[in-house]
């Protein structure tokens, strides 16, 4: 079903992306379905509490980004990314886009949208 839907959408110029766990099997299935763009779920990284857990999840995200890029896929990432944890994800080579809207909108309630976006961009670039 995904393969047919992806082909139909791509035929009319619509980009198709699947939100998946950072797992080789899911990346391969996505590629086999004709989808060339993914968003890696960063929730396990965001929920990691110990340095060891954070490092393990970050390593997985780096490895799966490289794996997907090696298959010619575009890689985005998101879920649970906040001002205090976005930097390490932003530094992963090969990730095109980060999806962090919830954190920015929540912050904007206190400082305004322009300032919230500026703060996030600063965190990403440092």
Q: What is the DSSP secondary structure assignment for residue 36, as one 8-state letter?
A: -
Residue 49 has pLDDT above 90, yes or no: yes
Query: What pLDDT digit, counting tens, does each position of 23-35 carry?
Result: 999 999 999 999 9
Give the pLDDT confidence score for residue 126 in this predicted structure. Answer: 84
Residue 105 has a pLDDT of 96
At residue 1 the predicted structure's pLDDT band, cuts being 50, 70 and 90, is confident
DSSP calls for 41-105? E-HHHHH--SHHHHHHHHHHHHHHHHHHHHTT-EEEEESS--TTTHHHHHTSTTEEEEE-HHHHH
Per-residue pLDDT for 57 more than 90? yes
- For 2-22, what is each residue's pLDDT tens digit? 899 999 999 999 999 999 999
């Amino acid at each position: 079903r995904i393969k047919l839907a992806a082909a139909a959408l791509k035929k009319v110029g619509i980009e198709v992306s699947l939100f998946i766990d950072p797992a080789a099997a899911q990346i391969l299935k996505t590629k086999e379905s004709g989808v060339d763009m993914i968003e890696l779920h960063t929730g396990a990284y965001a929920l990691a509490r110990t340095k060891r857990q954070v490092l393990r999840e970050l390593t997985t995200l780096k490895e799966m980004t490289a794996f997907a890029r090696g298959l010619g896929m575009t890689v985005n990432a998101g879920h649970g990314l906040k001002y205090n944890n976005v930097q390490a994800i932003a530094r992963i080579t090969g990730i095109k886009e980060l999806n962090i809207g919830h954190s920015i909108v929540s912050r904007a309630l206190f400082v305004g949208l322009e300032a919230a976006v500026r703060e996030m961009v600063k965190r990403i670039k440092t």
